Amino acid sequence: MAPSSEIVTPVVGLEIHVELATATKMFCRCRNRFGDPPNTNVCPVCLGLPGALPVMNARAVEFSMKVGLALNCRVASYTKWDRKGYYYPDLPKNYQISQYDLPLSANGHLDVPLPDGGASRIRVLRAHLEEDAGKNVHDNPAHTGVDLNRAGVPLLEIVSEPDMHSVEEVMGYARSMHRLVRWLGVSEANMQMGHMRFEPNINLHITRDGRTYKTPICEVKNLNSFRALERTVQFEISRQYAEWRADPEGYSIEKREKENRGYDDALGQTVFQREKEEAHDYRYFPDPDLVPVTVSDEWRGRVEGEIGELPLARRQRYMDAGLGFKEADALTQDAPTGDLLDAAVAAGASIQRCCNLLLGRGSAFANERGCTIAEVGVTAGQLAELAKMMDAGDVNATAGARVFDKLAEVGGTPREIAEAEGLLAVKDAGQIEAWVREAIDGNPQAVEQVTSGGKKRSKAMGFLMGQVMQKSRGAAPPAEVQRLLNEKLGL
Ligand code: ZN
Ligand code: MN
């Protein structure tokens, strides 16, 4: 590793491509849907046939504005479409419609939560709208196929400033962006379906003996999982450091400005692809087939009004209401789960009690079913009623968990379930006392072990306790049982 006089600072910027969840494609009426048979969602426009004319999808612009505004960007009142020319088999037009010098959104930031409850601010340079390319299909060894269902799907490209300086910061930013686009409802952001792809730009700034060295910037293309992103950044940091150690003067940004690399998942390594092309290689020019987009103050204002509370603000609100960082963070992974909590609290339940139920049994069901906590299906009304019953001592914690399970499995009202299952706490003092008496009379050996105060005392007390709980089928309040046992045994 580095000698103590050396300071190595990773410098990372991230481009994120997000497929927008519109019903139709960016410039035609074809369906925007993953998984359909190849080349079934295509038309002359997205096939790039001569004479076909594109028409802009306003919903995609609106979705992009929403992201831009949530990222505190300046959303342009005037923007246009440009052709970015390059040849690739999955791009039949030989150009991609994108936004070059006038992106829809620019100069924003995203606050990335830190474990200590604070946040680190990553600047967003721009977020522009473009169309996705098709997909080359390599499932036949004899030839490569092309599926153009994806060609023309709206794609939002979000470009950060190189503000990240560790693997943790990169991952925090990527995950926050993932949560944000889902939160806003503009993308499913399903990684397996390629809805979100990462392209990190990575280099190192190394200070040694008062001099700063910068390694060439490497852009790693098309990463489609968090794991690939994490391994890529880790790998590049050590690879670049090793290359620089071997040749501090030669391996520098002055000599080799930029290169493109690909990620090989089997090797867990990045591999050289080519020297980076420059913007002028793409021969950008305004698309003559599309009119420029004007965004009125009224339109921008309406979209802004739809955004609502964002994850970090909501997390802070939960912490202010007394929840811990981890609890508040877990409840703000998606909007509907927090909405469920808010509605239960609005119905008069305690936030901590609801939180315990949601993150206990709720999250167990969510993991098992591969869904969010809200999608488990327990409603705010059910959650509030159960929480209130627990606070009133009508059901104890164990019984409450069982009621929650029934709600998730078959539904119903908490009180009816508790009654039907015999889970209601017994408040009849005479009945509880009778059970305690029975347990004492029926187990003289355990009583002896408790009263003699020997080594087996606490185990024996637990046994008596268990006997009473069993007789009550879990419905006796444990604290009251303990109190009565102590009293009767003269402790
Ligand atoms: Zn089409
Ligand atoms: Mn792009």
> What is the distance in A from the centroid of ligand 1 to the CA of 193?
20
Q: What is the 3-state secondary structure (H, E, C) of 129-159?
A: EEECCCEEEEEECCEEEEECCCCCCEEEEEE
Average pLDDT estimate for 274-282 = 77
Q: Assign 2 a pLDDT band (cuts: 50, 70, 90).
A: low
Q: Half-sphere exposure of residue 472, counting CA atoms within 13 Å on the CB side?
A: 32
Which residue, 300, 330, 305, is CA-closest to 315? Answer: 330
Average pLDDT over residues 88-115: 93
Q: Where are the alpha helices (DSSP H) in 311-396?
A: 311-320, 325-330, 335-346, 351-357, 363-369, 380-391
- Ranking 221-230, 251-260, 291-300 by mean pLDDT, the lowest is 251-260
> How many angstroms is it from 288 CA to the middle of ligand 1?
19
**pLDDT score at 96:** 96
pLDDT recorded at residue 453: 82
Helices of type H across 157-296: 167-183, 226-246
Domains, the chain, with CATH or none: 6-294 (no CATH), 309-420 (no CATH), 429-488 (1.10.10.410)
CA of 189 to the centre of ligand 1 (A): 22
| pLDDT at residue number 424 | 87
Closest-approaching ligand to the CA atom of 24: 1
Kindly identify the ligand whose nearest atom is closest to the C-alpha of 92: 1
pLDDT tens column, 179-222: 999 999 999 999 999 999 999 999 999 999 999 999 999 999 99
pLDDT at 3: 56
Is residue 325 pLDDT above 80, yes or no?
yes
- Average pLDDT of the chain to the nearest whole number: 94
Please answer whether residues 92 and 137 qualify as being in contact, where contact means their C-beta atoms are separated by less than 8 angstroms. Answer: no
CA of 41 to the centre of ligand 1 (A): 7
- Using a pLDDT cut of 90, give the percent of the chain over it: 82
The SS3 of residue 218 is strand
Taking the centre of ligand 1 as the mean of its atom positions, its distance from the CA of residue 164, in whole angstroms, is: 38
- The mean pLDDT value for 276-290 works out to 86
Give tens-digit pLDDT for 367-388: 999 999 999 999 999 999 999 9
Cα separation values, 199 from 219, 223, 227, 324, 459, Å: 7, 6, 13, 34, 59
Question: What is the spatial distance between Cα 168 and Cα 159, in angstroms, rounded to a whole number?
Answer: 18
Residue 37 CA to ligand 1 centre (angstroms): 15
Distance CA 24, CA 30 (A): 5
Round to whole Å and give the CA distance between 460 and 77: 76
pLDDT tens digits, residue range 350-368? Answer: 999 999 999 999 999 999 9
Q: What is the pLDDT of residue 131?
A: 97
Neighbours of 186 (CB within 10 A): 25
Return the ligand number nearest the Cα of 197: 2
How far is ligand 2, taken at its centre, from the CA of residue 111, in Å? 23
pLDDT level of residue 423 (50, 70, 90 thresholds): confident
Query: In which band, very low, low, confident or very high, does the pLDDT at 490 lie, cut at 50, 70 and 90?
Result: confident
Look at strands 258-264 and 217-220 and give their pairing. parallel
Ligand nearest the Cα atom of residue 93:
1
Q: Distance, CA 82 to ligand 1 centroid (Å)?
A: 19
161 and 125 in contact (C-beta within 8 Å)? yes
Distance, in Å, from the CA atom of 75 to the CA atom of 300, rounded to the nearest integer, reads 8
Check whether 1 has a pLDDT greater than 60: no
Environment of ion ligand 1 (residues, CB < 5 A): 28, 30, 43, 45-46
pLDDT digits (tens, 9 = 90+) for 445-460: 999 999 888 888 889 9
Q: List pLDDT tens digits, range 161-171.
A: 999 999 999 99
Gap from CA of 442 to ligand 2 centroid (Å) = 77
Higher pLDDT, 115 or 199: 199
Q: What is the DSSP letter of 417?
A: H
Nearest to 342 by CA among 377, 388, 383, 397: 383
> Range with the lowest mean pLDDT among 10-14, 62-66, 203-207, 486-490?
486-490
| Closest by CA position to 169, among listed 241, 118, 215, 103 | 118
Query: Rounded to the nearest whole angstrom, what is the distance from the C-alpha of residue 446 to the centroid of ligand 2?
Result: 74
